[in-house]
Amino acid sequence: MNISTLDKQSAQIHVLGDEASHLLAGLEAMRSELGELAEELIALLRGTGIEPAHAPDHIRTEYAGPE
């Protein structure tokens, strides 16, 4: 994420598509806690064609014991 324009009234940022997808998924997961701002950001992201990131079907975990 890079901030390209910043002033007292607004900020403009550039985000890669993959980062925006994860951001959208996080905003949607916390939409009730974040309120109107989350709804506005979700609408803006979806308006540009961003879809939320999907969780993997299986998360691989391994135990690496002490050596």
pLDDT tens for 4-17 read 788 888 888 888 88
pLDDT value for 39:
94
Give the pLDDT of residue 2.
80
C-alpha separations of 22 from 41, 47, 50, 66 in Å: 13, 16, 10, 33
- Quick one: pLDDT at residue 30? 93
Cβ atoms within 10 A of the Cβ of 20, count?
20
Q: Please, which residues have CB within 8 angstroms of residue 4's CB and are 6 or more apart in sequence?
A: 12, 13, 14
pLDDT in tens, 15-67: 888 899 999 999 999 999 999 989 999 999 999 999 998 877 787 888 888 87
